[in-house]
Amino acid sequence: MHSYRLRQDVSVLSDHLEVPGLGFLAVNAFVIHAAQPVVIDTGLGLPDRDFLASLAPVIDPPDVRWIWLTHPDRDHTGGLFALLDAAPQARVVTTFAGAGIMSAERPLPMDRIYLLNPGQSLDAGDRRLTGFRPPLFDNPATVGILDTSTGVCLSSDCFGAPLPTAALATAEDAAEVSPDELRAAQLLWATIDSPWVHGVDPAKYAASFTPLRDFAPSAILSTHLPPVTSDSTALFTTLLDAPQSAPFTGPDQAALEAMLHQFQPA
Ligand SMILES: [Fe+2]
Ligand SMILES: [Fe+2]
């Protein structure tokens, strides 16, 4: 995991995961250096990852005031409990569903939770961060974030894309990916992460993008894509086509056995 300042008030903690047959998926967490600092998601939970150690050069963990969990999938919760221990003032921003899902494995302490629904805002001292439901998501607890003071949008899984190399997955700007490659990869990710997209009413689905388009983000920060800091029009155009794209079918047992067979010594 490496980190960098995307802008004066936003740091990116950039990691990736290799997905066999699909490529390399960015796994990002973020810090908004607000008056009350906010960590957004906490990375992978793999044994060789140490989120706290990766976070320390970016912000002193005890200074963290909010840990905004965009949703409690395991690529977002890796450092959650270590950070809660290291940041005694911090509370976890999540939803009722998010807290409920966490309670099935390791409950969040009730006095460390701050429940926030889409449409509600968090006062981070010098700015208000407003929750919104991204158009595409894989978990009912998902809440993205709009920083209304800067125009930065944190979109959780939405807009993600598996990319051909680890270097691209951890690039500091999505503009490093060719537009055609990015479009194909985003449509693939949409069908994997949100397979329900093939059953939506097209008009209602298109309308679900309107609030975010009207917000006109200055940057789109997805957990699963390098930052988008330039014109995001193409991203919207791409995802509007997701309902018509080919549904994803993963490898089955025969494919797995064929793959394993290739690894057997001759
Ligand atoms: Fe997810
Ligand atoms: Fe994710």
Task: Please tell me what DSSP assigns to residue 228.
Answer: B
Determine how many CB atoms are found less than 10 A away from the CB of residue 13.
24
Confidence at residue 262, expressed as pLDDT on a 0 to 100 scale: 85
Q: What is the dihedral of CA 207, 210, 211, 212, to 10 degrees?
A: 120
**β-pairing, 91-94 with 121-123?**
unpaired
Terminal-to-terminal C-alpha distance of the chain: 37
pLDDT per residue, tens digit, the chain (266 aa), is 999 999 999 999 999 999 988 999 999 999 999 999 999 999 999 999 999 999 999 999 999 999 999 999 999 999 999 999 999 999 999 999 999 999 999 999 999 999 999 999 999 999 999 999 999 999 999 999 999 999 999 999 999 999 999 999 999 999 999 999 999 999 999 999 999 999 999 999 999 999 999 999 999 999 999 999 998 999 999 999 999 999 999 999 999 999 889 887 76
Q: 36 CA to middle of ligand 2, Å?
A: 25
Q: 77 CA to middle of ligand 1, Å?
A: 10
Confidence at residue 239, expressed as pLDDT on a 0 to 100 scale: 97
Q: What is the total residue count of the chain?
A: 266
Kind and range of the H or E element at 159?
none
Q: Which ligand is nearest to the CA of 75?
A: 2
Q: Which residues of the chain form beta strands (DSSP E)?
A: 2-7, 10-19, 23-32, 38-40, 66-68, 91-94, 113-115, 121-123, 128-132, 144-147, 152-156, 162-163, 219-222
Q: 71 CA to middle of ligand 2, Å?
A: 8
Q: Which token pair is 218?
A: 């200055």
Question: How far is Cα 225 from Cα 50, in angstroms, rounded to an integer?
Answer: 21
Confidence at residue 266, expressed as pLDDT on a 0 to 100 scale: 61
Q: Which residues of 53-206 form beta strands (DSSP E)?
A: 66-68, 91-94, 113-115, 121-123, 128-132, 144-147, 152-156, 162-163
Q: With beta carbons less than 8 A apart as the criterion, state whether 197 and 137 touch.
A: no
Q: 136 CA to middle of ligand 2, Å?
A: 11
Q: 222 CA to middle of ligand 2, Å?
A: 9
- The pTM is what? 0.96
Q: 57 CA to middle of ligand 2, Å?
A: 24
Q: 75 CA to middle of ligand 2, Å?
A: 5
Question: How far is Cα 194 from Cα 139, in angstroms, rounded to an integer?
Answer: 9
Q: 138 CA to middle of ligand 1, Å?
A: 5
Q: 230 CA to middle of ligand 1, Å?
A: 25
Phi, psi of 103 (to 5 degrees): -70, -15
